[in-house]
């Protein structure tokens, strides 16, 4: 506790250096320190207890009892999970953690009691079993408790440092085991020390909310859901609650490929770990069985081994693992332990087979201890160092509403099942052979590596799904089962409520409910409701409900036919559609009503009739239908022609295709677009025959120049179906299309061709058009990400650099933000930054799919820090951790331009600019005339505002302002009266007010001519009275005013220069 008090009172001077060293911010240290101490005492006590209990059990029961320990501990773990799971999402994590430790403390006390009574064999077996079973619940929940305080980005920095407390506890506990054995002289004393360590942990958990009063993020985000679940769920702690929670976690695991592979990896790992412990135990007994005190010797060696191993990995965990995870990303960091695990298993086997050989240069006992140490360190040190921190982060890709249950199911239930299977394997007779256990360990290590590789593959998809479910998970309830009501009394009751209702909306709701649950018995009820419905909207809705309920009685069909004569068009349309759904559009009995409907006064009814007749298969055999279609196609109204295109698309024969081809050249947009939609929907056997494909190809290539983006996009889809070299060449030419949808479609079309497209696209990497170069890089990266993926990173990095450079400009403008012109210029830069960000996401969307990127963008725009953090984690899987780290501050609502400018300087070395450099950059002729114009306007406004502020405080300022106002009333308002003085004024501003020298007047004239005239007029209306009556003395003189006019300082630009008296220079302010 002294460390916490010291940090709270004296950490102001020391914490900054520690923060830089450990990658932790100063405000985060108090909580990190307390969590660190918890982990220290948890593992220190566990090492003490595990070392002495493990050694005492081996001395008394040997290897024969070890498989049964695995089996019984697995069974007890399942019981513990049964008690833990119902409460995991219903009790605060700190309270539940103390309950878990209290249960373990009670078990230790019971073990001590058995030792006092002389049942040592039973006591050590019991303590060994409860120690393993307790870890199945306490370990995962301790990680969940810690992760609760941090979002995923913060957790990536914090967790490795906090979990380093495990290492410190293992070092202290391991190196002090021999001291405890020496001082206490009895295993009971070491077990008592284990009990005391648990008591300290419980005290720290209780003190945490009292010393550090901050709200945990997950409590806020899940409060509503938790309350809802508590109201709807069975009583916590009941058998039904456990089964429901277990079923929910199991169901979600089955539906999630990501969790299924995590289950596989966890299962393989938990089978492998007991095999390693079994092999290590065998080797320890071989060396120490003849020792005078085997329990003390084994526990001392195991303690030394844990202490030394953790001394080695502690610096790596403190200074390397967090940065490795941040550098590689969570997905890539998952491979560290499985790969090293396989190497250690192979080395263990090699050392074991070489044990005792003279060529090895080692004695027999030394080689045996090396093999045993490798197995023991792999299970108890390296797994906790390289796997647990990453495993805890993997669950951040699981939605919060099922995160606890999924973790309890995967790590809490699968782990004991794996230990159970390992125990059963060790009971096989083949265990006595050397090759069986060794070969089994190699197979399990390889399979584990493969499963984690697959988890890495699904990690980004799981993050995207989690982000989507975070937005909507609380809106969904359990799926309702199919309802069925056969009780006539119940239906009669619903009918009475329907009849008594005066609200059309409620009547429609009741009608849909009756149609859904009433079956065939609902037909007469709804028929009567249809007859009595007072509004056309209600009648149409009831017909739609009856049609959706698939009522096929003749009385229902007769009702629909009767409604064809309804006075309202909506009802007639619904009736016609219901008849088509009842018997199919090719029903002969429906043909005549459909032909009659072609003469209907309602356009929607006519289109419904066309839709039915076009699917009959012999549309062109029905003369009235053909005549009606011709009237649409020959109408002067493009909207009617567009309706005709829809009908031709439904007819879908050669004659219709020829007509659609003609309309693809129509000058009006709407019929041309509908023709393209219909044309693209035609089947391949009609569109792409050997004789028609060349004609279609030429037609689609012409449509790539269509002014409507949707037409161009549809043309690309048809060209993609043709799939020829000529069509691919045409698609390449639209990679720089103005529409992002067209560009995305072009990328998708070319990427589908595979590596065969590389020779066609690669030359465009050197195209003069930067947009074409960029999209060519996108295509190539989709085809071969390993070779061309860095090209996309380069474009994204370039865009980010431009964004951060603009933030440097914004920082320079901050002192002048009160000016309207400067505000407008800042808004322009922010808009440019947003457009650049949109371009980055467009590049990622065409490379990774728009749906996933849209979810990421929506989450980055969230007001909740946790959602933004999870989105950045997902973004890492699409780009790189470095890119995601640079994009994070751009979505932080609290990030100031000064901080962003500093980050740009640190990352790219962007030199901070002053006002002079920004003005020079913005007025340069770089093709951005709008920004140049706004810059000039802002400069003049800032100068005029400052001049007014200066004049207001001097003598005679009131008279000068009055004189200016009188002069303004006498001035002309023409363009020529304003242009020259503004140029003089701009030059004065740029030279005197900003300190720039050598400003070229011709350049200012060029800039001024680009400014829209309405903008000049707005400027003059606001600041005319504030401008100088003549240019300053050190600038060229202005010509005389024209007769009958009183301009600011002279005639128009083209007037010959007369001589003029130079006025005195203004004060140098």
CA 99 to CA 96: how far, in whole Å? 5
C-alpha distances in Å from residue 545, one per residue of 471, 488, 512, 533: 31, 20, 5, 14
Which pLDDT does position 950 carry in this prediction?
47
Give mean pLDDT, residues 104-109: 91
| In contact, 716 and 746? CB cutoff 8 Å | yes
- Segment 223-232 long-range contacts (CB within 8 Å, at least 24 positions apart): 224/474, 225/400, 225/401, 225/473, 225/474, 226/89, 226/90, 228/474, 229/89, 229/90, 229/401, 230/90
pLDDT per residue as tens digits for the range 251-292: 777 777 888 888 888 888 888 888 888 888 888 888 888 888
* pLDDT above 50 for 955: no
Crossing angle of the two packed helices 152-184 and 120-147, in degrees rounded to 10: 160
pLDDT per residue as tens digits for the range 963-991: 444 433 333 333 333 444 454 555 444 44
pLDDT per residue as tens digits for the range 627-665: 999 998 998 888 889 999 999 988 888 889 999 999 999
> 802 CB contacts (<8 Å, ≥6 apart)?
836
Rounded to the nearest 5 percent, the helix, strand and coil shares of the chain are 80, 0, 20
First to last CA, the chain: 61
Beta carbons within 10 angstroms of residue 110's beta carbon: 14
Residue in the block written with tokens 């933004």: 868
Taking alpha carbons only, the member of 166, 169, 165, 76 closest to residue 127 is 76
Share of the chain above pLDDT 70, in %: 74
Which helix (H) or strand (E) element contains residue 709? helix 709-722
Which pLDDT does position 708 carry in this prediction?
92
Give mean pLDDT, residues 407-414: 68
**Lowest model confidence (mean pLDDT) among 314-323, 594-603, 854-863, 1000-1009:** 1000-1009
**Lowest model confidence (mean pLDDT) among 124-128, 297-301, 528-532:** 528-532
C-alpha distances in Å from residue 35, one per residue of 6, 41, 159, 424: 15, 10, 10, 38
Taking alpha carbons only, the member of 889, 885, 867, 861 closest to residue 217 is 867
CA 95 to CA 664: how far, in whole Å? 70
| In contact, 775 and 740? CB cutoff 8 Å | no
CA 845 to CA 781: how far, in whole Å? 12
**What is the token pair recorded at 909?**
């070395």
| In contact, 191 and 127? CB cutoff 8 Å | yes
Give mean pLDDT, residues 388-405: 71
**What is the token pair recorded at 471?**
């937005």
| In contact, 860 and 868? CB cutoff 8 Å | yes
User: In terms of DSSP H, where are the helices of 318-377?
Assistant: 322-328, 330-333, 336-353, 364-377
Tell me the pTM.
Answer: 0.51
**Lowest model confidence (mean pLDDT) among 298-302, 657-661, 679-683, 1062-1066:** 1062-1066
**What is the token pair recorded at 340?**
């090293």
> What string of DSSP letters covers 457-474?
HHHHHHHHHHHHHHHHGG
Compute the chain's Rg from CA coordinates: 40
Structural domain boundaries in the chain: 2-213+229-470, 688-783, 792-913
CA 761 to CA 751: how far, in whole Å? 10
Give mean pLDDT, residues 775-786: 84
C-alpha distances in Å from residue 997, one per residue of 690, 915, 916, 1005, 1028: 72, 13, 10, 16, 20
CA 310 to CA 317: how far, in whole Å? 10
Taking alpha carbons only, the member of 672, 746, 743 closest to residue 711 is 672
More reliable by pLDDT, 1051 or 144: 144
State the sign of the Cα–Cα–Cα–Cα dihedral 667, 671, 674, 676. Answer: negative
Q: State the virtual CA torsion across 240, 245, 248, 249 in degrees, nearest 10.
A: -140
Class of domain 688-783: mainly alpha
Beta carbons within 10 angstroms of residue 14's beta carbon: 13
How many Cα atoms are found within 13 Å in the side-chain-facing hemisphere of 758?
Answer: 11
**Lowest model confidence (mean pLDDT) among 241-245, 329-333, 523-527:** 241-245
> What string of DSSP letters covers 781-834?
HHH-HHHHHHHHHHHHHHHHHHHHHHHHHHHHHGGGTTSHHHHHHHHHHHHHHH
Taking alpha carbons only, the member of 167, 145, 152 closest to residue 325 is 152
| In contact, 160 and 315? CB cutoff 8 Å | no
**What is the token pair recorded at 722?**
């043709």
- Name the band, by pLDDT with cuts 50, 70 and 90, for residue 676: very high
pLDDT, averaged across the chain: 75
**Lowest model confidence (mean pLDDT) among 324-328, 662-666, 949-953:** 949-953
Residue in the block written with tokens 């309890």: 408
C-alpha distances in Å from residue 383, one per residue of 137, 323, 612, 871, 986: 17, 18, 67, 28, 70
E strands in 545-591 = none
C-alpha distances in Å from residue 508, one per residue of 232, 504, 546: 29, 6, 11
**Lowest model confidence (mean pLDDT) among 189-193, 336-340, 576-580:** 336-340
| In contact, 358 and 408? CB cutoff 8 Å | no
More reliable by pLDDT, 675 or 210: 675
> What string of DSSP letters covers 90-144?
TS-HHHHHHHHHHHHHHHHHHHHHHHHTT-HHHHHHHHHHHHHHHHHHHHHHHHH
Crossing angle of the two packed helices 93-116 and 120-147, in degrees rounded to 10: 170
CA 620 to CA 613: how far, in whole Å? 10
CA 579 to CA 593: how far, in whole Å? 10
* pLDDT above 70 for 1053: no
Give mean pLDDT, residues 835-856: 81
Which pLDDT does position 6 carry in this prediction?
46
Helix (H, G, I), strand (E, B) or coil at 1063: coil
> 1047 CB contacts (<8 Å, ≥6 apart)?
971, 972, 977, 978, 980, 981, 1041
More reliable by pLDDT, 960 or 528: 528
Which pLDDT does position 727 carry in this prediction?
87
Any idea which fold 2-213+229-470 has? Growth Hormone; Chain: A; (1.20.1250)
C-alpha distances in Å from residue 567, one per residue of 538, 558, 600: 14, 17, 11
Residue in the block written with tokens 């909310």: 209
């Amino acid at each position: 506790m002294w460390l916490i008090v010291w940090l709270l009172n004296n950490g102001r001077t020391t914490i900054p250096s520690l923060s830089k060293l450990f990658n932790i911010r100063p405000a985060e240290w108090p909580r990190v320190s307390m969590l660190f101490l918890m982990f220290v005492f948890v593992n220190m006590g566990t090492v003490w207890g595990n070392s002495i209990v493990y050694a005492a059990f081996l001395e008394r029961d040997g290897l024969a009892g070890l498989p049964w320990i695995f089996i019984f501990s697995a069974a007890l773990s399942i019981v513990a999970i049964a008690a833990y799971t119902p409460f995991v999402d219903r009790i605060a994590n700190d309270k539940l953690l103390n309950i878990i430790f209290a249960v373990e403390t009670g078990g230790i006390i019971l073990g001590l009691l058995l030792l006092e009574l002389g049942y040592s064999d039973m006591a050590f077996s019991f303590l060994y079993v409860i120690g393993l079973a307790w870890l199945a619940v306490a370990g995962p929940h301790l990680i969940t408790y810690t992760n609760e305080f941090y979002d995923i980005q913060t957790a990536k920095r914090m967790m490795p440092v906090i979990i380093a407390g495990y290492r410190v506890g293992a070092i202290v506990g391991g190196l002090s085991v021999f001291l405890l054995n020496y001082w206490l002289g009895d295993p009971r004393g070491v077990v008592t020390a284990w009990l005391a360590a648990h008591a300290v942990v419980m005290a720290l958990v209780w003190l945490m909310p009292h010393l550090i009063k901050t709200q945990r993020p997950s409590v806020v985000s899940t409060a509503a859901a938790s309350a809802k679940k508590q109201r709807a769920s069975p009583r916590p702690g009941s058998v039904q609650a456990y089964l429901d929670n277990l079923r929910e976690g199991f169901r979600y695991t089955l539906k999630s490929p990501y969790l299924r592979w995590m289950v596989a990896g966890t299962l393989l790992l938990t089978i492998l770990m007991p095999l390693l412990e079994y092999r290590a135990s065998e080797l320890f007994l071989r060396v120490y069985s003849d020792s005078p005190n085997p329990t003390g010797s084994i526990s001392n060696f195991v303690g030394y081994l844990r202490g030394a191993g953790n001394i080695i990995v502690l610096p790596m965990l403190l200074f390397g693992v967090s940065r490795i995870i941040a550098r590689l990303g969570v997905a890539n960091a998952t491979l560290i332990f499985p790969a090293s695990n396989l190497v250690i298993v192979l080395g263990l086997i090699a050392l074991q087979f070489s044990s005792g050989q003279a060529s090895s240069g080692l004695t027999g006992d030394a080689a045996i201890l090396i093999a045993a140490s490798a197995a023991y360190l792999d299970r108890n040190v390296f797994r906790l160092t390289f796997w647990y921190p990453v495993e805890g982060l993997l669950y951040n890709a699981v939605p919060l509403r099922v995160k606890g249950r999924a973790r309890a199911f995967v790590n809490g239930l699968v782990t004991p099942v794996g230990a159970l299977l390992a125990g059963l394997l060790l009971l096989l007779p083949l265990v006595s052979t050397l090759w069986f256990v060794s070969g089994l360990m190699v197979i399990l290590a390889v399979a584990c590596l493969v499963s984690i590789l697959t988890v890495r593959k699904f990690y980004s998809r799981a993050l995207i799904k989690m982000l989507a479910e975070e937005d909507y998970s609380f809106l969904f309830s359990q799926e309702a089962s199919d309802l069925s009501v056969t009780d006539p009394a119940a239906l009669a009751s619903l009918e009475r409520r329907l009849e008594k209702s005066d609200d059309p909306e409620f009547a429609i709701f009741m009608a849909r409910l009756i149609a859904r649950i009433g079956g065939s018995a609902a037909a007469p009820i709804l028929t009567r409701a249809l007859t009595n419905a007072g509004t056309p909207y209600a009648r149409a809705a009831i017909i739609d409900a009856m049609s959706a309920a698939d009522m096929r009685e003749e009385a229902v069909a007769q009702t629909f036919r009767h409604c064809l004569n309804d006075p309202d068009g909506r009802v007639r349309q619904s009736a016609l559609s219901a008849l088509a759904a009842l018997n199919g559009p090719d029903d002969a009995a429906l043909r005549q009503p459909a032909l009659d409907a072609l003469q209907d006064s309602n356009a929607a009814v006519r289109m419904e009739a066309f839709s039915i007749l076009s699917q009959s298969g012999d549309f062109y055999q029905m003369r009235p239908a053909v005549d009606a279609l011709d009237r649409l196609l020959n109408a002067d109204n493009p909207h009617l022609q567009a309706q005709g295109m829809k009908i031709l698309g439904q007819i879908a024969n050669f004659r219709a295709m020829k007509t659609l081809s003609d309309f693809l050249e129509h000058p009006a947009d709407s019929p041309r677009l509908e023709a393209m939609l219909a044309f693209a929907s035609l089947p391949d056997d009609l569109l792409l025959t050997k004789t028609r494909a060349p004609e279609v190809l030429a037609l689609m290539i012409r449509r790539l120049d269509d002014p409507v983006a949707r037409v161009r996009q549809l043309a690309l889809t048809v060209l993609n179906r043709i799939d020829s070299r000529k069509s691919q060449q045409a698609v390449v030419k639209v990679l720089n299309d103005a529409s992002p949808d067209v560009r995305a479609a072009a990328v998708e079309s070319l990427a589908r061709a595979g590596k065969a497209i590389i020779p066609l696209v690669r030359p465009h990497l050197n195209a003069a058009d930067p947009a074409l170069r960029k999209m060519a890089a996108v295509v190539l990266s989709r085809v071969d990400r390993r070779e061309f993926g860095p090209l996309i990173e380069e474009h994204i990095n370039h865009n980010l650099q431009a964004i951060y450079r603009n933030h440097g400009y914004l920082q320079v403008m901050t002192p002048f933000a009160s000016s309207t012109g400067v505000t407008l210029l800042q808004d322009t830069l922010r808009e440019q930054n947003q457009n650049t960000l949109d371009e980055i996401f467009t590049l990622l969307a065409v490379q990774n799919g728009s749906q996933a990127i849209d979810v990421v963008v929506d989450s980055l725009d969230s007001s909740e820090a946790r959602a933004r953090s999870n989105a950045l984690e997902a973004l890492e899987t699409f780009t790189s951790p470095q890119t995601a780290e640079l994009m994070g501050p751009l979505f932080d609502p609290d990030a100031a331009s000064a901080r962003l400018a500093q980050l740009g300087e640190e990352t790219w070395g962007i030199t901070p600019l002053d006002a002079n450099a920004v003005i020079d950059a913005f007025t340069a002729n770089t093709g951005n005339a709008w920004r140049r114009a706004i810059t000039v306007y802002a400069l003049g406004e800032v100068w005029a505002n400052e001049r007014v502020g200066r004049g207001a405080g001097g003598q005679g300022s009131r008279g000068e302002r009055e004189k200016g106002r009188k002069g303004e009333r006498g001035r002309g308002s023409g363009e020529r009266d304003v242009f020259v003085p503004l140029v003089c004024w701009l030059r004065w501003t740029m030279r005197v007010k900003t300190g720039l020298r050598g400003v070229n007047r011709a350049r200012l004239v060029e800039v001024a001519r680009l400014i829209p005239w309405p903008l000049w007029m707005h400027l003059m209306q606001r600041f005319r009275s504030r401008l100088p009556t003549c240019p300053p003395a050190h600038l060229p003189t202005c010509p005389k005013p024209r007769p009958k006019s009183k301009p600011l300082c002279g005639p128009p630009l083209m007037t010959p220069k007369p001589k003029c008296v130079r006025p005195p220079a203004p004060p140098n302010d």
